Amino acid sequence: MIRVIFAAALVSIISLCSCAKEKVKSDFQLFGEWRLLGDASKAKQIVLKPDGKAKFIGVNIEDFGRGEKGELPELGTWKLSPNGAEVEFWFAFGGGDYGEIGKLKQKEGEIEIWFSIGDPDDYAWKRFRLVKTKGN
């Protein structure tokens, strides 16, 4: 019985530790240029600035498999979610205001933002990786 309790406690601790790897403790870790992975042109980026502004460079609605066409607006805002596992984005597009979530994931030892637009049932996640931090 004690072995079962110990094993359950060990599994819980390992699960908690593995989840913590994807959380960011400070928005300072996110400042800089995030490039869309798999983009041959290397021109599609999201830039996160310390003042809370987000700059979308060359990112199109079509990149997310959406039927609509057009580029995301150049400027928006962002902030790190209180739980440190997501980035919250806001921007105006097509006469409306939108709030979208970017999930923070750790891949190959680096943090990525998995970002999508639209209906959560239809999400086509795109991965952005930090390529240039503020100050470089």
pLDDT at residue 24, rounded to an integer = 85
Terminal CA-CA length for the chain: 56
Q: Are 60 and 49 in contact (CB under 8 A)?
A: no
Map residue 42 onto helix, strand or coil: coil
Q: pLDDT, tens digit, for every residue of 28-52? A: 999 999 999 988 888 999 999 999 9
What span, in angstroms and rounded, lies between the C-alpha atoms of 118 and 99? 10
Q: pLDDT, tens digit, for every residue of 68-99? A: 778 888 999 999 999 999 999 999 987 888 89
Structure tokens at 63: 């990149």
Looking at per-residue pLDDT, the higher value among 53 and 110 belongs to: 53
Residues of the chain by 3-state class (helix, strand, coil), percent to 5? 20, 40, 35
- CATH fold of 2-133: Lipocalin (2.40.128)
Q: Are 115 and 104 in contact (CB under 8 A)?
A: no
Residue 118: φ, ψ to 5°:
105, -155
